[in-house]
Amino acid sequence: HDLCGGVVMIRPSNRAMGIEYAIRDVVLPARELEKQGIKIIKLNIGDPVKFDFQPPEHMKKAYCEAIMEGHNYYGDSEGDKELREAIVEREKKKNGVDITPEDVQVTAAVTEALQFIFGALIDGGEEILIPGPSYPPYVGLVKFYGGVPKAYKTIEEEGWQPDVDDMRRKVTDKTKAIAVINPNNPTGALYEKKTLQEIIDLAGEYDLPIISDEIYDFMTYEGKHVSPSSLTKDVPVIVMNGLSKIYFATGWRLGYMCFIDPENKLAEVREAIGKLARIRLCPNTPAQKAAIAGLRGPMDYLEEYMAKLKERRDYIYKRLNEMPGISTQKPQGAFYIFPKIEEGPWKSDKEFVLDVLHNAHVLFVHGSGFGEGGEMHFRSIFLAPVPVLEEAMDNLEKFMKERLG
Ligand code: PLP
């Protein structure tokens, strides 16, 4: 026990206290400035619904109706049967996979799918290959369950494509799975089919499953998303997706995973995931009705939203590349850009982000918060309308000119 002011403090677990989440960590100093009455332009959190995006009307209506019609009970642990059928239809149509509703597990968004997967794969010491840089919960959750996140390189000059040679070098006898995040957060990369095929070949060689995070799959600009599930012959692929990004329903907390496993190598892992699903009872029941409406309904809203996002991407990409001391790749998917701090007085990317926050009043996330490969970079979202991005870029440009003399 620790003593604090004469009071015996109850100690929390090291496992929980070890969790870091950079995206939210930079919010505290920003709040302090806001308390002093300073306006901060927040380009740190990837939530489209905080900007001018909303779930489509037919989904909102279905959610409300589900509640009013009495769908307020505990559902099945694996998820609503009709929703799982709708997910099968979607995955077949997009990725040409051969699955049934039994191959689908509905979850409280991709985040819960990650908890289930790492909970079912890790006892202690197992290694999960993750992209570097990576969306922070991949590091945080793997560690929480006692595993070791091992980052494989992604190549900035090639639009942040995974370095499959490096991935191969990182495989050991403790490697348990390869995680692929495509389109990628934080880099905005869209992985090439050829690279994905190489990853599948590597996974096949070492009998590893692929964990495929496809939460941004329809959110691409020039190219189209390719899922490893559409390429695999025998390598098991666990696809994760949900309502948060392309259905613009982040707060509904609904998603799914499906198992594309032609040789049934994941049979026991699936049993473990089923157990984890049962002890958390079930996913949100009315949100699942809204998901059925979303998956089976029109997606024309996406065209308008993607046009807005493309305009914003083009704008921020141009402004950042024109600025002294900063260079950036053009994002091909999602709504993040991951520029490099080429020169300046800062010793670390966190120091840069805090300096920008205090003096240009724009909030970004420091690249090292996304783990290996993120050093001396920062992440910005481009969900905000162009006039907001313009103000942020004007402030940043003035700041960079001052700092670089
Ligand atoms: N996966 C990636 C790559 C993300 O960027 C995010 C959110 O930013 C998530 C998963 C979280 O998704 P969900 O809201 O479905 O938990």
Give pLDDT tens digits for 92-110: 999 999 999 999 999 999 9
Query: pLDDT category, 74, cuts 50, 70, 90?
Result: very high
Residue 254: what pLDDT? Answer: 98
The verdict on ipTM greater than 0.85 is yes
Residue 250: what pLDDT? Answer: 98
Q: What residue type is 77 in one-letter code?
A: S
Dist. CA 8 → ligand 1 center (Å): 38
| 258 has pLDDT over 70 | yes
* Mean pLDDT score of the chain: 96
Q: What is the mean pLDDT of residues 317-327?
A: 97
Inter-CA distances, 297 with 93, 108, 247, 289, 293, Å? 14, 21, 11, 12, 5
Give CA–CA dist 59/287, Å, rounded: 9
Ligand 1 residue neighbourhood (C-beta within 6 Å): 46, 109-111, 135, 181, 185, 213, 215, 242, 244, 250, 255
Q: What is the pLDDT of residues 277-302, one digit of tens each?
A: 999 999 999 999 999 999 999 999 99
Dist. CA 367 → ligand 1 center (Å): 17
Dist. CA 172 → ligand 1 center (Å): 28
CA dihedral of 380, 383, 388, 390, whole degrees rounded to 10: 60
Best mutation site among 181, 190, 215 for ligand 1, i.e. most ligand atoms within 8 A of its Cβ? 215
| 9 has pLDDT over 90 | no
| 25 has pLDDT over 80 | no
Query: pLDDT category, 3, cuts 50, 70, 90?
Result: confident
Query: pLDDT category, 5, cuts 50, 70, 90?
Result: confident
Superfamily assignment of 2-53+301-403 in CATH?
A: Aspartate Aminotransferase, domain 1 (3.90.1150.10)
Instruction: Please name which of 349, 369, 308 lies closest in space to residue 51, comparing C-alpha atoms.
Output: 308
Q: What is the mean pLDDT of residues 333-346?
A: 98
Dist. CA 111 → ligand 1 center (Å): 6
Q: Which atom of ligand 1 is nearest to the CA of 254?
A: 15
Give CA–CA dist 50/179, Å, rounded: 28
Q: Which atom of ligand 1 is nearest to the CA of 135?
A: 3
Give CA–CA dist 47/336, Å, rounded: 11
Q: Which atom of ligand 1 is nearest to the CA of 112?
A: 16
Dist. CA 244 → ligand 1 center (Å): 7
Instruction: Please name which of 379, 354, 377 lies closest in space to residue 32, comparing C-alpha atoms.
Output: 354
Dist. CA 137 → ligand 1 center (Å): 9
Residue 26: what pLDDT? Answer: 84
Residue 399: what pLDDT? Answer: 98
Q: What is the pLDDT of residues 129-174, one digit of tens each?
A: 999 999 999 999 999 999 999 999 999 999 999 999 999 999 999 9
Best mutation site among 47, 50, 107, 135 for ligand 1, i.e. most ligand atoms within 8 A of its Cβ? 135
Residue 21: what pLDDT? Answer: 76
Q: What is the pLDDT of residues 354-390, one digit of tens each?
A: 999 999 999 999 999 999 999 999 999 999 999 999 9
Dist. CA 252 → ligand 1 center (Å): 13
Query: Which CATH number describes the domain made up of 72-296?
Result: 3.40.640.10
Whose alpha carbon is nearest atom 12 of ligand 1? Answer: 110
Give CA–CA dist 210/228, Å, rounded: 8
Query: pLDDT category, 1, cuts 50, 70, 90?
Result: low
List the strands of the sheet with 175-181, edge to edge: 104-107, 255-260, 237-242, 210-213, 175-181, 127-132, 148-155, 161-162
Q: What is the mean pLDDT of residues 249-270?
A: 98
Residue ranges of the chain assigned to CATH 3.40.640.10: 72-296
Residue ranges of the chain assigned to CATH 3.90.1150.10: 2-53+301-403
Q: Which atom of ligand 1 is nearest to the CA of 110?
A: 15
Residue in the block written with tokens 């149509």: 93
Dist. CA 317 → ligand 1 center (Å): 23
What is the number of residues in the chain? Answer: 405
Sign, Cα dihedral of 288, 292, 298, 302:
positive
